Amino acid sequence: MLIGIIGAPNKGKSTLFSAMTMNDVAIADYPFTTIQPNTGITYATTECAHVKLGVQCNARNSLCVSGTRLIPVNVTDVAGLVEGAHEGKGMGNQFLNDLVAADALIIVVDASGKTDPAGNKSTGSNPVDDVNMVKNELVQWLAGIIEKHMNAISKRKDGDEALYEVLTSFKVTKDGIAKAANAVSLSTNKPEWSDEGIERFSAELLEETKPILIAANKSDVHGSEQNVALLEREFGRENVVACSGAMELALRKAAKMGLIDYKPGARDFKWLDENESEERKQALKYMQDFIKSKGTNVQELVNRVVFGLLGNITVYPVEDENKYSDHFGNVLPDCVLINSGSTAHDLAMKIHTEIANKMLYAIDTKTKKRLAKDYVLQDEDVLKIVSAVK
C-alpha cells in the first residue's frame, strides 16, 4: 500500500510527511523544496487484538504500544504541483509520474489562506482553489497519456483491454476501466472518444483508482476555521481533515527528546521534564491546550485513508488456534491489512500462494468454529488457515 502526499508548493507537505514518518526532510517556505520524492513509513493504528483476548502479543510485522497496534504503511511526498504541470511547468511530469503507484492521495492545502495556488505568500486565499487546481492537473495528466495512445486503442474492439495495457502501471483493473467508461457513457468497442470524453473518463477513473482525502493543513493558525468550513461545504465533511503537521511534528520531537510522553493521535500528553525553560514550557502548554480541544489529527488523516478511503480491515493469521501464536510461539505476531469484503481464501493468498491453493478451511480462534474458504472476513478476526500443504 502506498499513500501519495500531493499539493501546491508551500502548503506544508514536507512538514506533514515528516510528522507522519519522523523522517528528516528539507522543509522551507519557498517552492520546490522537494525535488526528488521523499519516501518513508507511517503507521495506521487500531486497538491490538491482544487487549480483548487477554493475552500479551509479540508483534512481528508491526508494532504494539500500550495496546495500540501500529501497522506500517508506505508514504511518499512528491514535488509541489503548479498549474500547468501536465504541460511541463514547475517539476512537471516528474511530479505526476511519482504518483503512478499510489493507492490513495492526500491533497494538502493551506487552511490559513496565507498562500495562493502557486505557493506564493498571500492573504485571504481560498484553499478550494488549491484542490481544484490539483484535481484538474491530475485529470489532464492522465488524459494526456490516454490521448497519446488513442489512435491505436480506437482500432480495437477490446478497447478496455487496450486501455488496461496502457494504464496497467496505474494500479487499475479491467473492471475498473469498464466501470469508469460506463459511468460516463463511453463505449470501449473501437472507442473514438473526443478530448472532452477522454477527460471525463480520466476524471472517473482517477476517482475510482486514486481516491483522495483533503488535508486542511495549518489548522492551528488563527482564522483557519472559516477555510476548513469552505472545504467541507465544497467537497463534503467526510473528505476533509483539519490538521496541523507542524504541531504534530513538534510534539513527536518533544517526545523523542524525553520532554513529554505523547502517543501520536492522542488528545493530551504527560509532562516528563518540569525543568525546561519558561519559553519551552509556554510552547508545550499552548500545544497541550490545542490538542485537547482540536487535536493535530495527523494520525486521524492516516487512519481515514487506510480504513476509510481504502476500506481496509485488520486480521491476525495464526498457526495455533488455542495459543493465538505462530509455530515459534509468538502470540499474534502479524496484523494484516486487507480490503473489507475479502475472504479467508484471500487472506491465505496474502500468506502464501501454495497455502491458498491447497487451503481446506479456516478456524475462528475465538469461537473454534470451522469456516469455509469463502467466509467473509470481519475486522479483528484471528484466524488459522488449514491447508494440505505439508
Structure confidence by residue, pLDDT tens digits, 136-164: 989 998 999 999 999 999 999 999 999 99
Reported CATH class of domain 2-37+78-234: mainly alpha
**310-387 fold:** Ubiquitin-like (UB roll) (3.10.20)
**Alpha helices by DSSP H, the chain:** 13-21, 49-53, 92-97, 127-153, 159-167, 174-183, 195-209, 224-235, 245-256, 278-293, 298-303, 344-351, 353-357
The letter for the amino acid at 315 is V
- Our measurement of the distance from residue 38's CA atom to the centroid of its chain's CA atoms, rounded to an integer in Å, reads 15
Residue 258, judged by CB atoms within 10 A of its CB (0-12, 13-18, 19+), counts as exposed
Indicate whether 214 pLDDT > 90: yes
Residue limits of CATH 1.10.8.470 in the chain: 2-37+78-234
Mean pLDDT over 364-374 rounds to 97
For residue 88, what pLDDT band results from cuts at 50, 70 and 90? low
The yes-or-no verdict on residue 46 having pLDDT over 50 is: yes
Residues carrying CATH 3.10.20.30, the chain: 310-387
Q: Cα–Cα distance between 40 and 5 in angstroms, integer?
A: 11
Residue-wise pLDDT for 293-305, tens only, equals: 999 999 999 999 9
Average pLDDT of the residues in 33-55:
84
* 318's grid cell: 495464526
Residue 280 has pLDDT above 80, yes or no: yes
Task: Write phi, then psi, for 41 (nearest 5 degrees).
Answer: -120, 130
- What CA–CA distance (Å, rounded) separates 114 from 62? 39
Distance CA 141, CA 96 (A): 7
Confidence at 325, pLDDT banded by 50, 70, 90 = very high
Query: In this predicted structure, what is the pLDDT of residue 93?
Result: 55
> What is the pTM (predicted TM-score) of this model?
0.88
Whether 57 shows a pLDDT value over 90: the answer reads: yes
